[in-house]
């Protein structure tokens, strides 16, 4: 006789908090926030909102959280809304505040895990709208491993003349070059961000929303909706009901967040021409879910997946225009039909991805936002993981092919983002330079700041096709040009990037997946012998704690990598090889003063 499987307990966690004589005080507390007798017998669903009026990405999420909570209650659950933090990359970009951006991802994950663990939620809905709160939500849901749904807050509409936030950053460079007047810059500033929603191109927020839908953690079309729209409110209502259904069915987050699901996310990010931050965040989500995923998986998948979407920053169109022709569902269906997605993966709908996509149609005839497989923008991935004597643990390049596939030039070295930006604006950086920005890695920054200000200035100065930029920091999804980030090991740990001198020749070859510092081993050894570690930027507080605990960018720059199951076979093999290379690697003479 077949062994019977026990039915899922929809109150597995909340019952420990509210049932029985000894939990009478807990029930008394909950009555004060609206519980009635019948509510104690319902599944408890936490609605984690990242609302704040700090940023347009999140300013509307309070209303979405209320709609979600109402749907939870209508489906037979009992909702409770709680908040977590968010910070704005667009506002803090180019300032010391940007150091807190990636740190906020860990704080968000920790805070959601903390509240859900303490309050005994049986399931969750997490609502995010900005770059770091989205992966932070997913990391928390993966750690908790309870039934859960993610809701994306939606994309912003474009400003006049097809403007967005990147238009502002590039106008700054244009003003420095004399190609944009003071009046024109002021007009761009006043009109580029017309309202609520996440930044409008295939930048990090829209990239991660698409990846999360592809991995099955949000409902169909959640990633491709305008922030202020009836369809987004309806998405929240469906998510609230879906969370209750998942609790009753016993489908938990790690049933969905499998290795195959993460491979689906990588495939989708490549096809959309998405942000390099997706590499960092998907590695982090994999760590939280206990899934083996490594940098080399991005190269492996990238060899067979083309870039199909002509979206900003490298392309012409915005997310709202992709929304208007059907979002990402027709693209996912096409990828599935080509054998590039794992259709058997379960999603938060309770169905498989193949079942979810069964009714997905095609894009309308005549549209040119998403190309066919016969005429791709690039026949393989724009995200290229590079290795070499400059990056033994790896580096991540974003190359659509428009920039070319190789670059060789002389190093122009800066020990901070601020110093590099000033040099670009002042005309110090010239055609043929490889701008090196170091000591901006996870530990060295700390916080691995995004380099949108320098890349935006390079584009605005008209140097996008003649200057490369490499860094142990990272890039905004809005960055484009010949850029390489996430160089590991980072300079602050004595990685090879710290050895580079002005004038050294650097070669970047996407075909060979190589990044090379053209300096003899003997000279590098001499430089390394005289290197001294830089003083830490912070000695107390959250930045100091983060710098102490954070792992390499090659592992996702997470703060719990040692304990995470995902840090087993593949990820650990690379650091071991990197340590061997590091023993041979030279160290730089001195570190320039941080400005």
Measured in whole angstroms, how far is the alpha carbon of residue 148 from the centre of its chain? 19
The rounded distance, in Å, linking the Cα atoms of 305 and 264 is 11
Q: Is the Cα dihedral 573, 271, 484, 404 positive or negative? A: positive
**In the chain, % of residues over pLDDT 70:** 93
State pLDDT tens for residues 115-128. Answer: 999 999 999 999 99
- DSSP letter at 19 equals S
92: annotated active-site residue: no
The rounded distance, in Å, linking the Cα atoms of 313 and 204 is 11
The b-or-e profile of 268-303 (16+ CB within 10 A means b, else e) is bbbbbbbbbbbbbbbbbbbbbbbbbbbbbbbbebbe
End-to-end CA distance of the chain: give it in Å, rounded: 73
Helix (H, G, I), strand (E, B) or coil at 165: helix
The rounded distance, in Å, linking the Cα atoms of 45 and 69 is 8
DSSP sequence for 169-199: HHHHHHHHHTSS-HHHHHHHHHHS--SSSB-
Q: What is the dihedral of CA 288, 81, 104, 391, to 10 degrees?
A: 30
Count of other CB atoms within 10 angstroms of residue 592: 14
pLDDT per residue as tens, the chain (595 positions): 344 567 899 999 999 999 999 999 999 999 999 999 999 999 999 999 999 999 999 999 999 999 999 999 999 999 999 999 999 999 999 899 999 999 999 999 999 999 999 999 999 999 999 999 999 999 999 999 999 999 999 999 999 999 999 899 889 989 988 999 999 999 999 999 999 999 999 999 999 999 999 999 999 999 999 999 999 999 999 999 999 999 999 999 999 999 999 999 999 999 999 999 999 999 999 999 999 999 999 999 999 999 999 999 989 999 999 999 999 999 999 999 999 999 999 999 999 999 999 999 999 999 999 999 999 999 999 999 999 999 999 999 998 777 788 999 999 999 999 999 999 999 999 999 999 999 999 999 999 999 989 999 999 999 999 999 999 999 988 788 899 999 999 999 999 999 999 999 999 999 999 999 999 999 999 999 999 989 999 999 999 999 999 999 999 999 998 543 333 333 333 344 444 443 444 333 333 333 3
Contact, 555 vs 283, CB < 8 A? yes
Q: Of these residues, 104, 222, 476, 554, which one is catalytic?
A: 476
The rounded distance, in Å, linking the Cα atoms of 271 and 371 is 10
3-state helix, strand, coil split of the chain in percent (to 5) is 45, 15, 45
The rounded distance, in Å, linking the Cα atoms of 382 and 138 is 24
Residue with the two structure tokens 């936490």: 46
Cis peptide preceding 313, ω within 30 of 0:
yes
State pLDDT tens for residues 51-92. Answer: 999 999 999 999 999 999 999 999 999 999 999 999 999 999
Give the contacts of 24 (CB within 8 A, at least 6 positions apart).
none
- DSSP letter at 551 equals -
Residue with the two structure tokens 């491709």: 224
């Amino acid at each position: 006789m077949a062994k019977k499987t026990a039915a899922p307990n929809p109150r597995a966690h909340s019952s420990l908090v509210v049932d029985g004589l000894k939990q009478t005080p807990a029930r008394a507390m909950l009555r004060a926030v609206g519980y009635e007798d019948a509510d104690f017998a319902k599944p408890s669903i936490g609605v984690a909102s990242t609302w704040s009026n700090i940023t347009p990405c999140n300013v509307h999420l309070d209303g979405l959280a209320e709609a979600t909570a109402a749907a939870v209650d209508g489906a037979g659950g009992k909702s409770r809304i709680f908040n977590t933090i968010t910070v704005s990359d667009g506002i803090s970009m180019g300032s010391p505040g940007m150091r807190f951006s990636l740190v906020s991802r860990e704080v968000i994950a920790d805070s959601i895990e903390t509240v859900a663990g303490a309050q005994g939620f049986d399931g969750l809905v997490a609502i995010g709208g900005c770059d770091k709160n989205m992966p932070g939500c997913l990391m928390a849901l993966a750690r908790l491993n309870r039934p859960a749904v993610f809701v994306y807050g939606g994309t912003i509409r474009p400003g006049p003349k097809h403007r967005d936030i990147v238009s502002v950053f590039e106008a700054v460079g244009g003003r420095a070059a004399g190609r944009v007047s003071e009046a024109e810059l002021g007009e761009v500033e006043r009109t580029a961000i017309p309202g609520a929603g996440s930044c409008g191109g295939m930048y990090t927020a829209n990239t991660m929303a698409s990846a999360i839908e592809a991995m099955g953690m949000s409902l169909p079309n959640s990633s491709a909706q305008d922030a202020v729209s009836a369809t987004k409110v309806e998405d929240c209502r469906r998510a609230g009901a879906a969370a209750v259904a998942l609790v009753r069915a016993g489908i938990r987050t790690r049933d969905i967040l499998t290795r195959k699901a993460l491979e689906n996310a990588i495939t989708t990010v490549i096809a959309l021409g998405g942000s390099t931050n997706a590499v960092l965040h998907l590695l982090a989500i994999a760590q939280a879910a206990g899934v083996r995923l490594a940098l080399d998986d991005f190269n492996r998948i990238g060899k067979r997946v083309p870039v199909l979407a002509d979206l900003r920053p490298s392309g012409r169109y915005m997310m709202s225009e992709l929304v208007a022709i059907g979002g990402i569902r027709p693209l996912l269906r096409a990828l599935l039909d080509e054998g590039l997605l794992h259709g058997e993966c379960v999603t938060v709908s309770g169905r498989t991805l193949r079942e979810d996509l069964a009714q997905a149609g095609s894009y309308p005839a005549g549209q040119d936002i998403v190309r066919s497989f016969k005429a791709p923008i690039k026949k393989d991935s724009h995200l290229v993981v590079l290795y070499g004597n400059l990056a033994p643990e790896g580096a991540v390049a974003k190359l659509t092919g428009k920039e070319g596939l190789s670059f060789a030039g002389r190093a122009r070295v800066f020990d901070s983002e601020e110093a590099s930006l000033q040099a670009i604006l002042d005309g110090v950086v010239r055609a043929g330079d490889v701008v090196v920005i170091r000591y901006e890695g996870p530990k060295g920054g700390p916080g691995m700041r995004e380099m949108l200000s320098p890349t935006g200035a390079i584009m605005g100065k008209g140097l996008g096709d003649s200057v490369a930029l490499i860094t142990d920091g990272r890039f905004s999804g809005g960055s484009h040009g010949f850029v390489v980030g996430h160089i590991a090991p980072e300079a602050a740990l004595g990685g090879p990037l710290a050895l580079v001198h002005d004038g050294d020749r650097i070669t970047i070859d996407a075909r060979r997946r190589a990044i090379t510092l053209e300096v003899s081993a003997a000279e590098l050894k001499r430089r390394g012998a005289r290197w001294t570690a830089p003083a830490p930027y912070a000695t107390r507080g959250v930045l100091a704690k983060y710098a102490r605990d954070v792992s390499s960018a090659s592992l996702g720059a997470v703060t719990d990598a040692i304990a995470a199951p995902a840090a087993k076979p593949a990820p650990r093999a690379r650091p071991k090889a990197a340590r061997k290379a590091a023993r041979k690697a030279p160290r730089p003479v001195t570190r320039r003063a941080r400005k």
